[in-house]
């Protein structure tokens, strides 16, 4: 990704997002700045306005699981959602080390009908093949990605 920042002080690289719960481009993308730890239904309801009920349930359950399994870093554990659009969410997972994550309820090829799940977690730029496989909108994740074939960051665009 071209513009990198430290996500929630967890040491995980993530694209910079701006604005607060605002819409961007033709595809409505809700940005959360700063992202907050989501680790139960209460924090999901408080911090994830503009997301779907199914995603809030997923974020609360996944954040609670992460917090349970990460006893040494209780203050930072959970999901940190930076951006959301229908079918996709981007942010970081807060554990002692932390990493950037992409979540979707889309099937490979971008088709509808799946359940919310993490499709990639990394401390580096997200691979282009993953973004292309799920047809992740660039309004959500930015306009560059890592090409393992070319071994360099390349432009990425998906409406």
**pLDDT computed for residue 126 by the predictor:** 92
Mean of pLDDT values over 7-29: 43
pLDDT in the model for residue 70:
77
Q: Chain-centre distance of CA 101, in angstroms?
A: 5
Please state which of the ranges 84-93, 108-117, 146-155 shows the lowest mean pLDDT: 108-117
79, 84, 77, 75: which is closest to 38 by C-alpha?
A: 79
Give the pLDDT of residue 74: 61
Task: Give me the phi and psi of 130, to 5 degrees please.
Answer: -70, -45
Position 39 pLDDT exceeds 50: yes
Please state, in angstroms and rounded to a whole number, the distance separating the CA atoms of residues 63 and 69.
10
């Amino acid at each position: 990704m071209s513009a990198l920042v430290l996500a929630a002080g967890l040491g995980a690289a993530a694209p910079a997002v701006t604005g607060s719960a605002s819409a961007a481009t033709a595809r409505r993308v809700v940005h959360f700045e700063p992202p907050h730890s989501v680790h139960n239904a209460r924090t999901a309801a408080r911090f994830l306005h503009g997301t779907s009920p199914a995603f809030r349930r997923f974020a609360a359950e996944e954040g609670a699981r992460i917090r349970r399994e990460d006893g040494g870093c209780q203050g930072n554990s959970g999901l940190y959602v930076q951006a959301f659009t229908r079918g996709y969410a981007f942010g970081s997972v807060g554990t002692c080390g932390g990493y950037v994550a992409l979540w979707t309820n889309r099937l490979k090829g971008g088709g509808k009908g799946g359940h919310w799940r993490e499709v990639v977690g990394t401390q580096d730029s997200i691979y282009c093949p993953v973004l292309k496989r799920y047809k992740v909108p660039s309004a959500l994740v930015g306009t560059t990605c890592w090409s393992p074939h070319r071994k360099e960051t390349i432009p990425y665009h998906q409406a």
